[in-house]
Chains A and B, each alone.
Chain A
Amino acid sequence: MRFYEYESRRIVEQAGIPVTEYGFAKTGTEAREAAGRIGGPTVIKSQVLTGGRMKAGGVKFADTPEEAEAHAEQILKLEIGGHMPVGVLVDPKAEVEHEYYAAVLWDGRAKRPMMLFSDMGGIDIEQVAEDHPDHVGRGHLSNLHPIPDFRAKEVIAAAGGLTGRELTRATPILASLARLQRDYDMTLAEINPLARLSDGSFVALDAHMEMEDEAVGRHQRVLTEIGVELDQPRELYEPSDFERNVKAIDDADHRGVIQGKDHGFVGDLGLVIGAGGGSLTLTDAVRSQGGKPANYAEIGGNPSVAKSKGLAMEVLKKDGVEKIAVMMSIVSNTRVDIVARGVIAACLEMGRDPAETIAVFRIPGAWEEEGAKILGKYGVEFRDRGTSMWEAAGEAVEKVQGGAGS
């Protein structure tokens, strides 16, 4: 789960990491009040979960509270990358002397979190790592043992040879960030820039937090305390009707799992496919043979007839879908006959002839004899493991493209 900048600010603040005074505002009036409270020049930042705010006009500088209000009102109406802001963040225009980078994230290969620190913050850290590797300190953390401050100190000392007050002041901040990453199941806990102000103090000017979706459930209480609104939209893009409908069908019944995605897909061949790896393999096989999938789908865990039917119907309802390909890798849990019943029922309910509509049905495995019988009744040929996934996909492509021309 991605957090808005203002939420990330509250999270680091709660973890004891110093921040400047700030305000979150949903109206121009609130922004004016926040700017008045902060005093002096302020920055008004659009709260959207997308990059390119500055370029789009989502970040503006204000000298007075009145100006802050006017900017906030403009920004609140400004859509950025297809997203409307949930509010604005009002920050003081800080007197920054130097910018650093601090982050804790997973190193999948080491199976441990890794701390990163650089004395060249505020810019793209990947570029820094490439151009100035000696200015990036790194260190792994145990998952089980307590996180000691000295580990953070070692990482900071390794970043361009930092010492003195810089080292001693940054150490507890990086250590707190590491504990926060573990305590809150963050996949990414990043402060960039971490700023040293003219008075020598360190503050987190901008923080970026992402919590692992699987762990959101066990942090509900803390998230509520911080004021995180869990029903706020956090997706990279708005779900389509197809995606919403498939999800609703999936949520309505706990047996098995169906998923559907069509973001980025435009085509005439509907895919009713599974399971995880099978779906990836089959989508590639369709595209590699010149096919145009209208969607991506995953069937798994032995869904009910109603669920399989629901997925097939949603796929068939999509604009431009001529035929569906029903394909899976060999199944051991999901039952072939249940999927067969579902897709036949979907065709019939849509007034479509199953034999014409189902370009191919290739699901070998559990209850395949029963599945083949059901399909046979409606003139749909059953393909077992004797037909490879590639061949089944090719057959579907040929049928939908041959059919379009005739």
Chain B
Amino acid sequence: MSILLNKDFTFIVQGITGREAVNLTRECLDYGSKVVGGVTPGRKGREVHGVSVFDTVAQAIENHGSPIDGSVVTVPPAFTKDAVFEAIENGIGLIVVVTERIPRLDVAQMVELADERGARIVGPNCLGLIAPGVCKMGGIGGPAKDAAKAYSPGSVGVMSRSGGMTTEISSTLTAAGLGVSTAVSIGGDAIIGSTYAELMPLFEADDQTQAIVIYTEPGGRMEAELVDWRSEAGSELPIVAFMAGKFMDDEEMKGMSFGHAGTIVEGAEDSATQKIARLQDAGIPVVERIDEIPGAVKVKLAVGAPAGARGM
């Protein structure tokens, strides 16, 4: 199995008539995903690659005749919050927000409403997620043939703050014969709908996933949250991490992105160096090179498995 997605997973695309959305719709359909409708206010009656366009999410659901599982939202930043609210209030359970440059308050409001209604948001500022051979939801991996090349079905769950690096890492895992169970581009913003720690229970419960790879960057406290979750949950699912942006720790780069009173909320600001130390202290190896990831995963699997049990 995979997490969040399955063979029968249905979704709509909000903002479907936009240039990027048209491409994304095509890519997902080619991959075999079930795109069952699109929404762009004022464009009801059109079609995008054979997908019917509606004015409202409710119309799309009515037309489909049964509940729709997900929505990919790719509308301009000023309209994103309303589009996500519309999806949530119409009972959609998984919302991928592609849009970047959304003010943080809007994101926090979307996430809070999703929490109140039992929905999940992935992103914003992300490329979506893919369960190789099962479903591609969003622009992740690009055109279907490129996505198939980089993502083969396998045993490793991938979570990444960078959309492009999700594919780079997955391609490396594919080339090494490990493959990917589900890869999630979680988004690079300060507040996102689904953090590492929030997705971990799903991977933990997934039979197919035997190890996790995370890609991270300086800023935020998501690694600390992951480490805390791991010890609280007693999870032994192996994790391998990669940290980009170590150069930002240099003295001459200071003050270019981080700092201020925000540090007080959760303790000392997490630089790359501090994050690496924190992860490694928790038994999560942090590799220096992307091409070292498959090897590190194999070591973890060999250590964790009772002799011969995992057939690696």
Contact = CB atoms under 8 A, between A and B. Distances in A.
Contact of B105 (A185, A236, A277, A331): A185
Interface of A: 103, 105-109, 111-114, 116, 125-126, 129, 142-144, 182, 185, 187-188, 190, 208, 210, 212, 214-215, 218, 236, 263-264, 274-278, 280-281, 283-285, 287-288, 300, 328-333, 364-366, 385, 388-391
Given A112-B108, A390-B291, A277 B191 contact: no
Interface string B115-141: 010000000000000000000000111
A143 B108 contact: yes
B105 A215 contact: yes
B78 A276 contact: no
Interface residues of B, number: 65
Given A105-B265, A277-B160, A283-B245, 4 more contacts: A112-B108, A142-B112, A143-B109, A274-B164
Contacts of B20: 333
B217 A214 contact: no
25 contacts: A105-B261, A105-B262, A107-B265, A107-B266, A109-B265, A126-B261, A142-B112, A143-B108, A182-B105, A188-B261, A218-B103, A277-B162, A277-B215, A278-B162, A278-B168, A280-B244, A284-B245, A284-B246, A329-B162, A329-B168, A333-B142, A385-B171, A388-B289, A389-B289, A390-B290
A281 B111 CA distance: 29
Given A109-B221, A182-B105, A366 B146 contact: yes
B207 interface: no
Interface stretch (B8-16, B89-97, B249-257): B249-257
B195 to A, nearest CB: 8
Interface in B175-200: 175, 188, 190-191
Given A236-B255, A277-B161, A332 B142 contact: yes
Contacts of A188: 260-262
Interface in B132-179: 139-143, 146-147, 150, 160-165, 167-168, 171-172, 175
B38 interface: no
Contacts of B79: none
B105 A143 contact: yes
Contact of A106 (B146, B191, B289): B191
A144 B112 contact: yes
Given A218-B78, A285-B289, A390-B291, A108 B164 contact: no
Contacts, number: 178
Centre residue among B77, B165, B291 by max chain A CB count within 10 A: B165
Contacts of B160: 277
A108 B190 contact: yes
Given A112-B108, A214-B102, A264-B252, A126 B161 contact: no
B273 interface: no
Contacts of A116: 261, 264
Contact of B112 (A105, A143, A214, A218): A143
B171 A330 contact: yes
The 9 A-B pairs with the shortest beta carbon distances in the complex, nearest first, are A277-B162, A332-B142, A264-B252, A388-B291, A280-B244, A277-B165, A215-B103, A280-B245, A329-B168
A263 B150 contact: no
Nearest to A301: B20
Contact of B261 (A142, A190, A333): A190
Centre residue among B77, B116, B260 by max chain A CB count within 10 A: B260
Contacts of A187: 104, 260, 262
Contact of B247 (A103, A277, A283, A364): A283
B167 A332 contact: yes
A262 to B, nearest CB: 11
A123 B198 CA distance: 37
Contacts of B49: none
B310 interface: no
A349 to B, nearest CB: 28
Contacts of B141: 332
A329 B112 contact: no
Interface of B: 20, 77-78, 101-105, 108-109, 111-113, 116, 139-143, 146-147, 150, 160-165, 167-168, 171-172, 175, 188, 190-191, 215, 217, 220-222, 224-225, 242, 244-248, 250, 252-253, 255-256, 260-266, 288-291
A281 B142 contact: no
Contact of A111 (B112, B247, B262, B290): B112
Given A214-B104, A264-B253, A287 B247 contact: yes
Given A185-B103, A218-B78, A333 B256 contact: no
B186 to A, nearest CB: 12
Nearest to A112: B108
Contacts of B146: 332, 365-366
Given A109-B266, A277-B217, A214 B290 contact: no
B69 to A, nearest CB: 24
Contacts of A281: 165, 242, 244, 290
A330 to B, nearest CB: 5
Given A280-B217, A281-B165, A366-B143, A111 B265 contact: no
Contacts of A236: 255-256
Contact of A391 (B150, B220, B291): B291
A111 B162 contact: no
A160 B116 CA distance: 34
Contacts of A288: 246, 288
A330 B168 contact: yes
Contacts of A390: 288-291
A263 B256 contact: yes
A285 B244 CA distance: 9
A144 B253 contact: no
A275 B188 CA distance: 12
Contacts of A114: 265
Contacts of A212: 103-105
A144 B113 contact: yes
Contacts of A278: 162, 164-165, 168
B164 A125 contact: no
A331 B164 contact: yes
B172 A388 contact: yes
